[in-house]
Each structure stands twice: as structure tokens, then as C-alpha cells.
Amino acid sequence: MKSIITAIAITALFTSSAFADGLADRINEARSYPNKTVETTDRQELCLKHQKLHEQMKEAGLADSSDD
């Protein structure tokens, strides 16, 4: 009977320590990547930037790849 209680106690000890290690890993990972944000741009805004870049390329005399 004592061996069963000892086995249960050891199992509980290892289970709780494994859970704590997993939790510590998640906490450390969250600290190492604090600013995980992605900037999203509006489609119209992106299209306007693209058009402006094409205009600047034409003014600079660079060839446009779609004019072949």
C-alpha cells in the first residue's frame, strides 16, 4: 500500500513539474516576442502608392515592364 501511495505522489510531482515547465516556456516565448503585430494596409491605399511609384519611375526615365 505504501508503494502505491509513493508511486502516486511521484507521478503527481512529475506531472505538476511538467506543467510548470510548459507554462514557463510559454511565458518566456511571450516575453521574447512582445510586439507581434502585423500592419495591414487598405487596398486603395496600396493601389495609390503603386500608381505613384509608377509615375515616379516614368518621370525618372525608367522603363515600365508592362510597356513591352
- Long-range contacts from 35-44, C-beta under 8 angstroms, 24+ separation: none
Q: pTM of the entire structure?
A: 0.33
pLDDT of residue 25: 72
pLDDT in tens, 11-39: 877 766 556 566 677 777 766 666 666 66
pLDDT of residue 68: 44
pLDDT in tens, 50-65: 999 999 988 888 765 5
Looking at every residue in the chain, the average pLDDT score rounds to: 76
User: Which of these, 3, 22, 2, 26, lies nearest to 14 by C-alpha position?
Assistant: 22
